[in-house]
Structure 1
Amino acid sequence: MALTFPFSAIVSQDEMKLAILVCAVDPSVGGVLVFGDRGTGKSTAVRALAALLPKMRAVVGCRYGCDPTASNTQCPDCDALRAQGKTVLPSHLVSVPVVDLPLGATEDRVVGALDLERALSQGTKAFEPGLLARANRGFLYIDEVNLLEDHLVDLLIDVAASGENVVEREGLSVRHPARFVLIGSGNPEEGELRPQLLDRFGLSVEVRTPQTLAERVEVVKRRDAFERDPEGFSALWKKEDERTRRSIVAGRKRLKSVAIPDSVREAAAKLCMALGTDGLRGDLTLIRAARAFAALHGDAQVGDKHLRKVAAPALRHRLRRNPLDDSGSSTRVDRAVAELLAA
């Protein structure tokens, strides 16, 4: 198995790494959209995530990686086992899936279809799970997400909203859990993302080519060292990656106990009102991201400092265009934060 570039060795791009870690602690934040220049480490960060995440417990033999303790979100196969009287399903530790969705993927490959081999050899109708099934309880990564075909966009919106994939075709009627964290990356010069899908991403981050000489040199130095000796380079960053992994595990355990004062909820609402965000998804995402950020750093209570840290990625993609203000969305969020959340 080929080694991936260590997450901790990525130079700068702090906001992108923060957003990914926040979603790793609390998947309900809703995923990450990474827009920016080519060659800035977007794909590298996502691939590094797979090696960084702690393993999860899944039902043995389950094609969807169901959680053995969550009977309300299990697949029909696991439900059938429980119906047979098996109250404790056999389980084992598996890697958290990070699944790529290629731009040219067919709908059958994404949602699943009839298993033709079994149909021809045994004469039985059986379901062959697709990419959404493989991504259950993990991460679904779409590179160049802004170029994704419209019919796949519509499909992803439905599944992301329900957490369930429904397949009705070729005499099959299948429902299975498909709860995943959506991560997309792209170059804004190649087209905008449809608003319906854009709104489904909890966090949106902007990445730029390093602007300082020292950063550019360090990026090239580390990449070259990794390509010449992947094992040796990875070993140098193993302790740092392990420290980050422990922070994720501790953050997940701490998440439910992190307190959110009403004053912080009010501050989040005022910020969203000042920016004119539509609906309440921005308020919810801002609170969830701030809580996950606090849990990640071992804080027992969410404060304004946590809101300030996650405000831009949680809100910048939810702003309406203002014909009287040509400032970028990031600038508008930063300005509102400075006015309402004084340090």
Structure 2
Amino acid sequence: MNIASGESRPVFPFTAIVGQEEMKLALLLNVIDPKIGGVMIMGDRGTGKSTTVRALVDLLPEIQVVANDPFNSDPFDPELMSEEVRQRIRQQEELPIISTKICMVDLPLGATEDRVCGTIDIEKALTEGVKAFEPGLLAKANRGILYVDEVNLLDDHLVDVLLDAAASGWNTVEREGISISHPARFILIGSGNPEEGELRPQLLDRFGMHAQVGTVKDAELRVKIVEQRASFDEDPLAFRKAYELSQVNLSNQIKKARERLSSVKIDYDLRVNISKICSELNVDGLRGDIVTNRAAKALVALGERNEVTPKDILTVIPLCLRHRLRKDPLESIDSGLLVKEKFSEIFGYTSKNN
């Protein structure tokens, strides 16, 4: 992957990141199927959460957008078009189309609702009779990634707004009787340190997957991570060049997985067992069932296969359910292990099975 001309900050290559397999897998699966619903990454400071998310963007394919459109409108899919672009199509206007990299939008902790959602210029609307809309970060994030570092410190009201937009794919701004809607389809990625507070359970449940990251304990692995970082800081261009082939290969693998996803099958019996696990673990609602099905299919597509196996489900189900379990203050076992135990009980399958 070449660095675009004028890019001032080279990005650490995704394929050079050592360890943190759970986080990397959750991010890749969401890129293959954005309908999984995003990732919440919780872990210690200095474990590479932000570095990994930024590295992910470098792998993503270019998308076609309508030139000079603030919403990154898709020129062919009405669900991903702004109202202005739809109007231009109705008028049979020829749209200028360009290819661009999928963007990642950082949401700063101190952001206001206006900055996130956009604002309507009431004065201009009343005097000139036009819907004068100043797009916010949700508009910029359409068809891309919205990253919120330290999401557990973000105002609950703003988290609600983000999750509503992520779930519906649309952002609506209303003021003084004037209403404007635009597409806001993005992959929501949040990260945080559990020591600084957890998200409310009803908000946590809205994230498709929950990855846990920890500080690497193995001394040799720690040395390797330190050396990798030092090499990158010393000569980012040479470091990226060394990983160019692996980056291109993974990028192509993602592209093929996206194309293959619709042909992946999951047997009825497996779907029933997934729902049994959710039911017996007292998971509220059906999000857990839906996300586990989607994540398993995305994993199969990534592996260039067409049929979901119990092993695929075992790989993804802790990521999909651990944050949906009701917290028991007397329970010391990790919730991901509880999910795996219930999986083994219902499937009669463990990771040792072939």
What is the TM-score with the length of structure 1 in the denominator?
0.94
What are the equivalent positions in structure 2 for 1:292-303 lying under 5 Å apart?
292-303=298-309
What letter corresponds to residue 24 of structure 1 in structure 2? V
The one of 206, 219, 222 equivalent to 1:200 is 206
Q: Is the 8 A contact 1:157 1:196 kept in 2?
A: no
Q: Which residue of 2 aligns with 1:108?
A: 114
Q: CA RMSD in A?
A: 2.0
Q: Which residue of 1 aligns with 2:196?
A: 190
The one of 266, 271, 274 equivalent to 2:277 is 271
Deviations 1:111-136, CA, capped at 9 Å, x for gaps: 111469989xx997621100000000
User: Is 1:67 equivalent to 2:74 in the alignment?
Assistant: yes
SS for the counterpart of 1:260 is coil
Deviations 1:127-177, CA, capped at 9 Å, x for gaps: 110000000011100000000012212212322232111111267421101
User: Is 1:237 equivalent to 2:240 in the alignment?
Assistant: no
2: CA distance between counterparts of 1:276 and 1:69?
A: 42
1: CA distance between counterparts of 2:302 and 2:87?
A: 37
What are the equivalent positions in structure 2 for 1:1-343 lying under 5 Å apart?
1=7, 2-86=9-93, 89-114=95-120, 126-169=132-175, 172-322=178-328, 325-341=331-347, 342=349, 343=353
What letter corresponds to residue 254 of structure 1 in structure 2? R
Cα drift, residue 324 of structure 1: 6.1
Cα drift, residue 339 of structure 1: 2.4
Pick closer, same or farther for the CA change 1:34–1:246 going to 2, 3 Å: same
2: CA distance between counterparts of 1:234 and 1:218?
A: 16
Q: Where do 4+ consecutive residues of structure 1 move more than 4 Å? A: 115-119, 122-125
2: CA distance between counterparts of 1:52 and 1:216?
A: 25
Cα drift, residue 51 of structure 1: 1.1
Give aligned pairs, total: 341
Pick closer, same or farther for the CA change 1:286–1:171 going to 2, 3 Å: same
1: CA distance between counterparts of 2:163 and 2:65?
A: 26
What letter corresponds to residue 157 of structure 1 in structure 2? L
Pick closer, same or farther for the CA change 1:301–1:123 going to 2, 3 Å: closer
Identity %: 50
- Higher deviation after alignment, 154-163 or 240-249: 154-163
- Higher deviation after alignment, 294-303 or 271-280: 271-280
SS for the counterpart of 2:58 is helix
- Structure 1 residue runs without a partner (length 5+): none
2: CA distance between counterparts of 1:318 and 1:287?
A: 15
Cα drift, residue 178 of structure 1: 0.6
Q: Is the 8 A contact 1:101 1:141 kept in 2?
A: yes
1: CA distance between counterparts of 2:217 and 2:285?
A: 36
Deviations 1:186-245, CA, capped at 9 Å, x for gaps: 000000102232111100010000010111001100001000000000111111111110
What is the TM-score with the length of structure 2 in the denominator?
0.91
1: CA distance between counterparts of 2:265 and 2:95?
A: 34
1: CA distance between counterparts of 2:63 and 2:270?
A: 32
